[in-house]
């Protein structure tokens, strides 16, 4: 959730290829980044990939293979309005912070996301605030705290129990 600059998608495409693990990646963004801005990103130089043009210039709502192991489907719209019968192994929940978009960290959103997860599936996010953890638990998810990268002390992983 939150396609943004496409960094999560790019890194997952790279890992899928390196590990020969098939991934179908659905991305959603309500306010896609303008292509002129995306063209200024340096991720391909930085990560030694060649994904940026296709990540940003491929059509929305259409499956696109970035490599033999990774297929991307971008959906333009608000998470709150998402209608899908798909269920997911992993959700990267990369909304802007609760201070900027409190409505995306409410119990209803985590119930919606829990419903979208397969049993045993997991949601990850950088935000570890206690009320966010509480809202995840209220949605029936099991919350784990993990060490974050660099200067980020904690990140969260919320797992949907297997019935």
Q: Token pair 């912070």 is at which residue?
A: 97
Smaller CB separation from ligand SAM, 33 or 143: 33
Looking at the Cβ atoms of 77 and 161, the one nearer to ligand SAM is 77
Q: What is the largest CA-CA distance in the chain?
A: 47
79 binds ligand SAM per the rule CB under 6 A: yes
Site for ligand SAM, residues 23 to 52, rule: CB under 6 A? 28-31
DSSP E strand boundaries for the chain = 23-29, 64-67, 70-76, 88-92, 117-125, 142-147, 154-159
**Minimum distance from CB of 56 to ligand SAM (Å)?**
11
Task: Confirm or reject binding of residue 2 to ligand SAM (CB under 6 A).
Answer: yes
Give 95 or 159: the residue with its C-beta nearer to ligand SAM.
Answer: 95
Instruction: Map tokens 């997991």 to a residue.
Output: 122
Q: What single DSSP character describes residue 160?
A: P
């Amino acid at each position: 959730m939150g396609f943004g600059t496409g960094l999560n998608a790019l890194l997952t495409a790279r890992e899928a290829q390196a590990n020969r693990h098939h991934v179908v990646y659905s991305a959603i963004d309500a306010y896609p980044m303008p292509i002129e801005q995306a063209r200024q990103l340096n991720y391909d130089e930085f990560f030694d990939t060649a994904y940026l043009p296709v990540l940003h210039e491929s059509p929305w709502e259409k499956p696109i293979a970035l490599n033999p192991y990774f297929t991307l489907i971008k959906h333009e719209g608000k998470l709150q309005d998402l209608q899908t019968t798909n269920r997911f192994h992993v959700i990267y929940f990369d909304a802007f912070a609760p201070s900027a978009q409190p409505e995306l960290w409410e119990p209803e959103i985590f119930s919606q996301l829990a419903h979208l997860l397969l049993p045993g599936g997991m949601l990850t996010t950088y935000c570890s605030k206690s009320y966010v953890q509480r809202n995840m638990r209220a949605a029936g998810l099991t919350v784990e705290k993990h060490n974050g990268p660099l200067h980020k002390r904690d990140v969260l992983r919320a797992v949907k129990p297997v019935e």
